[in-house]
Amino acid sequence: MSERKLKLALSVYGVGGPGHHSLWKDPRIPKNASIDIDWYIARAKQAEAALFDALFIVDSQFINATYPAHYLNRLEPLTLLSAVATHTKHLGLIGTASSTYNSPFNLARRFGSLDQISHGRAGWNVVTSFDTGTSRNYGLEEHLDYATRYGRALEAVQVIRGLWDSYEDDAFVADVENDLFLDPTKLHALNHRGENFRVDGPLNLSRSPQGQPVIFQAGISEEGKTLAGEVAEGIYAPGEDFESAVEYYADVKGRLAAHGRHWDDLVILVGATPVIASTDAEAHDRAREIYESDNDFDRKLAAFGRGFGAYDFSQHDLDAPFPDVAALADKGGRTRSQAIIERAREEKLTLRQVVEESAQYKPSPFIGSAQTVADTIEKWFLGRAADGLNLRARTPDDIDSFTEEVLPILQKRGLFRTEYEAETLRGNLGLKVPENRYAVDTDASALVEA
Amino acid sequence: MSERKLKLALSVYGVGGPGHHSLWKDPRIPKNASIDIDWYIARAKQAEAALFDALFIVDSQFINATYPAHYLNRLEPLTLLSAVATHTKHLGLIGTASSTYNSPFNLARRFGSLDQISHGRAGWNVVTSFDTGTSRNYGLEEHLDYATRYGRALEAVQVIRGLWDSYEDDAFVADVENDLFLDPTKLHALNHRGENFRVDGPLNLSRSPQGQPVIFQAGISEEGKTLAGEVAEGIYAPGEDFESAVEYYADVKGRLAAHGRHWDDLVILVGATPVIASTDAEAHDRAREIYESDNDFDRKLAAFGRGFGAYDFSQHDLDAPFPDVAALADKGGRTRSQAIIERAREEKLTLRQVVEESAQYKPSPFIGSAQTVADTIEKWFLGRAADGLNLRARTPDDIDSFTEEVLPILQKRGLFRTEYEAETLRGNLGLKVPENRYAVDTDASALVEA
Ligand SMILES: Cc1cc2nc3c(=O)[nH]c(=O)nc-3n(C[C@H](O)[C@H](O)[C@H](O)COP(=O)(O)O)c2cc1C
Ligand SMILES: Cc1cc2nc3c(=O)[nH]c(=O)nc-3n(C[C@H](O)[C@H](O)[C@H](O)COP(=O)(O)O)c2cc1C
């Protein structure tokens, strides 16, 4: 029996990956699933019954008509998760929100409220916004550049954590006899003055049983990894292949020590789209079938353009050399865009070739029989490619088959829990409750005085 | 039987009014009520069982240690209402949010999401933020001035309504056979460029069964009434006395015609804190008792200061002439502050006298036996002082006594519903579903072409 246990989040519908453009056609998915709160509640209950750590909601604030169905029409993550909260008891509720296009005070309140409503199960997945067009919904012609976005992200997390500590845990004495509701010495204004934000505080909200919502992060650039090393307690990482995942894992965890942090202070979940069948061959056939269902060139062209700020590549000759879009590559998801541009130049590829290559079939590592998938997960987990998975399940049936066929194998091997350890997200993820920064100070000064 | 029916919202806990500073001591209110979602859900169910139109959540984003208990620690309104939504079926869900310290795209998404989650029961109470200190939580040293705040408010409502219309109601054809999820001609970008905001859109969210959330407004200045006349569909108005309420009602409703609007397009709810007992005398005794329970001078001084941007008046000599705070009066709630300053000057009052006078006992009009309170409500309703009440109930028992004793009288008189007319907030308030602006255009152009 191993001490360390696998962590599991469930990402529903807005899942990305092969075939996600055609997912709306699946008869098991209601046509309005992306805005149907009952559908999300049902998925959350499935996840909770299977002892998942959390429901994970990704997000975007920009669309055009070429976007996949579940992007076009979607619920704002915090509103969604708050509705789910009262229908669950153990499941963590992780919402994605942009640190680029939100005010820290606003985010602190909303995640803090979700944390109170769920009694300590909230998590914030900090992103700097992949979709560059978001800027034009928030008053800016151009998406902020990497340095500014990640500078804001770090400062936003610091401010928000400061706001979350506004009240020490014993601030509300509620002493009727002495007519004292609040001990005013336990309310603290942050008075933050930084490069990006000025926020005085205090926040008008107290801490939940888990102290503060859990900070997740998703972003693979050098800047993203730096942010993760400094403040993330969870990461949603791409899980493309074992070798690169191992490298990423060691890289990011290696950054913790510089901030006085330990490997256990950060849980890395890799995105995994499982395809499970009776045999490996059958599963691989099914996976290819899913990929083929979404094999329309125009859609691939539009999806390709999203990596370049929803750029419309159809204006270029498909069979001419790949156009010069270097100026577009530095905004949304630089790592991938720059690799594509470089390869196109070196190999002298046409636009059509680049698109076809980018969209070509790359089977997910998590395809096979339940036994094979369980073996793969064990390998990734013990091989330190991941602390857990963010399961990007396509349909409710996919959640069931993972839960009923793969999880029991992992439980038998002692790799996955057989009951919840806690009623908070931190408790289940094995993360410690952060002490209130002001309470710590008080203890210290008490010691000095003693 | 009258055609026009009384409308009722329920405002819980954060109610203002006499004795609200001591409310936390009431044994019927859990000490953590202001952050206890189960408490709100229970109140919502009480209101729904009694056929109320809506739950109404007020808000503030600034505190210091002198604020009343339910201000100190409170849930963000949208997160709160979303959790309440799935536990109710008919009840409207009206949340207060500042147009001064929020981005329109952010608000459009959050209220739009609540509207989808509740299947058409959301309302937005637009405020420009009473608490001037909010500015320092959002990067600004000074609260924006009236003209700027109300200019932003109007433009924000216009932008947000535009975003809510991004999808025509039949945009999602979800035609599996023809592989068409969205009819792209029915998705519209707003491309707004205004004095305060630039927002391209489209919003990534479709319209609910009520078309758009209902726009409420609360703010009594000339600027506030102008905003209401132009865009509000509901108002939360002070209900201090019959005469001033009649005047306010006629004033605001009189502004509708200039915008091509009708009296029925706007529902005015006055704030009402009922105190009901077996006899009028008993009710008045009880009301005075409530007032006396909160009769501490230091608290009155702090509460008085809140009208001047949470100004700390304790730094002044209480028995010297009222200090010169004209510069503070133009920010949070100008109407009242300026009247106070003027009176203090004319009457040569000391600070202590002004505070005592401001806090002196003014019985609410809605005190008495059930019969008396029902008569008063009928008078206000038929006398066009109000279209309904925002019931600021102190405790669950107060909701019950209003529901069980007053409402049956009003129902017998044909003034209040005996069953819900609809499952949407608009439907119950008797407001029409706004046509999608783009669908209207299409119809018009179709006519022209025909
Ligand atoms: C696995 C993963 C999931 C992500 N999910 C989101 C998301 O839901 N919304 C979003 O705006 N960005 C998302 N991002 C994007 C990043 O937040 C980031 O803005 C973008 O990738 C550019 O930064 P990077 O180069 O550091 O990755 C995700 C990134 C990764 C790796
Ligand atoms: C009955 C009533 C309720 C109000 N509720 C709120 C509220 O919950 N939050 C808030 O910030 N302001 C609230 N306001 C204040 C107004 O939005 C406004 O900011 C302030 O009163 C100054 O504008 P005015 O002079 O137009 O009233 C309320 C005002 C009224 C009359």
> How do the pLDDT tens digits run along chain B, 450 residues long?
448 999 999 998 766 667 788 899 999 999 999 999 999 999 999 999 999 999 999 999 999 999 999 999 999 999 999 999 999 999 999 999 999 999 999 999 999 999 999 999 999 999 999 999 999 999 999 999 999 999 999 999 999 999 999 999 999 999 999 999 999 999 999 999 999 999 999 999 999 999 999 999 999 999 999 999 999 999 999 999 999 999 999 999 999 999 999 999 999 999 999 999 999 999 999 999 999 988 889 999 999 999 899 999 999 999 999 999 988 887 778 888 999 999 999 999 999 999 999 999 999 999 999 999 999 999 999 999 999 999 999 999 999 999 999 999 999 999 999 999 999 999 999 999 999 999 965 555 444 443
Query: How many angstroms separate the CA atoms of B167 and A34, rounded?
Result: 15
Indicate whether residue B248 lines ligand 2 (CB < 6 A): no
B285 within domain boundaries: no
Closest CA to B39 of B21, B51, B60, B57: B57
Convert the pLDDT of each residue in A277-303 to its tens digit: 999 999 999 999 999 988 889 999 999
A450 within domain boundaries: no
B42 interface with A at CB cutoff 8 Å: no
B287 within domain boundaries: no
Closest CA to A301 of A73, A26, A71, A21: A21
Q: Please give the angle made by the CA atoms of B448, B169 and A14, to the nearest 5 degrees.
A: 140
Domain residues for A332?
296-358
The packing angle between helices A370-382 and A242-254, to 10°, is 30
Distance from Cα B301 to the centre of ligand 2, integer Å: 20
Rg (CA), chain B: 23
In a shared domain, residues B189 and B259: yes
Convert the pLDDT of each residue in B11-66 to its tens digit: 987 666 677 888 999 999 999 999 999 999 999 999 999 999 999 999 999 999 99
Q: Which tokens in the block code for residue B8?
A: 């009722």
Contact map slice: B 69-88 vs A, CB within 8 A? 69, 71-76, 78-80, 82-83, 85-87
Residues 6+ apart with CB under 8 A from A14: A34, A57, A58, A59, A70, A71, A74
A94 within domain boundaries: yes
In a shared domain, residues B193 and B324: no
Closest CA to A385 of A271, A270, A275: A270
Q: Which residues of A touch B64 (CB under 8 A)?
A: 187, 202
In a shared domain, residues B314 and B251: no
In a shared domain, residues A381 and A340: no
CB contact under 8 A, B83 and A80: no
Distance from Cα A402 to the centre of ligand 1, integer Å: 26
Q: What is the CATH number of the domain that holds B69?
A: 3.20.20.30
Closest ligand, as measured to the CA of A124: 1
Give the count of alpha carbons within 13 A of A42, CB side only.
14
Convert the pLDDT of each residue in B268-285 to its tens digit: 999 999 999 999 999 999
State the complex-level ipTM: 0.96
The packing angle between helices B222-231 and B146-164, to 10°, is 10
In a shared domain, residues B127 and B226: yes
Using CB atoms, pick whichever of B24, B61, B202 lies closest to residue A181: B24
Indicate whether residue B267 lines ligand 2 (CB < 6 A): no
Pocket of ligand 1 (CB under 6 A): A 58-60, 96, 98, 127-130, 218-221, 223-224, 236-238, 271, 332-335
Most A CBs within 10 A among B23, B39, B58, B72, hence the mutation to make, goes to: B72
Give CB contacts under 8 A, 24+ apart, made by A297-302.
A297/A355, A299/A21, A299/A66, A300/A355, A300/A356, A300/A358, A300/A359, A301/A355, A302/A66, A302/A67
Query: How many angstroms separate the CA atoms of B31 and A93, rounded?
Result: 26
The full length of chain A comes to 450
Per-residue pLDDT, A445: 47
A382 within domain boundaries: yes
Query: Of the residues B358, B389, B412, which one is the last residue of a structural domain?
Result: B358
In a shared domain, residues A228 and A374: yes
List the beta bridge partners of residue B392.
Answer: B11
Give the count of alpha carbons within 13 A of B368, CB side only.
13
B448 within domain boundaries: no
Q: Which tokens in the block code for residue B131?
A: 């608490």
Give the count of alpha carbons within 13 A of A446, CB side only.
6
In a shared domain, residues B398 and B302: no
In a shared domain, residues B228 and B341: no
In a shared domain, residues B434 and B372: yes
In a shared domain, residues A186 and A323: no
Mean pLDDT of A431-435: 97
Query: How many angstroms separate the CA atoms of B404 and A141, rounded?
Result: 57
A279 interface with B at CB cutoff 8 Å: no
Given a contact cutoff of 8 angstroms between Cβ atoms, the answer to whether B85 and A36 are in contact is no
Closest CA to A122 of A51, A46, A56: A56
Query: How many angstroms separate the CA atoms of A358 and A336, rounded?
Result: 10
Query: Of the residues A304, A338, A358, which one is the last residue of a structural domain?
Result: A358
In a shared domain, residues A347 and A380: no
Q: Which tokens in the block code for residue A210?
A: 């888990």
B135 within domain boundaries: yes
Task: Please report which residue ranges of A73-145 form alpha helices under DSSP H.
Answer: 77-85, 104-117
B248 within domain boundaries: yes
Query: Of the residues A358, A378, A409, which one is the last residue of a structural domain?
Result: A358
Most ligand 1 atoms within 8 A of CB, residue of A15, A70, A78, A130 to mutate: A130
Please state the pTM of the whole predicted model: 0.97
Rg (CA), chain A: 23
Number of domains forming the structure of chain A:
2
Phi, psi torsion values for A94, nearest 5 degrees: -105, 120
Query: How many angstroms separate the CA atoms of B400 and A212, rounded?
Result: 37
In a shared domain, residues B343 and B433: no
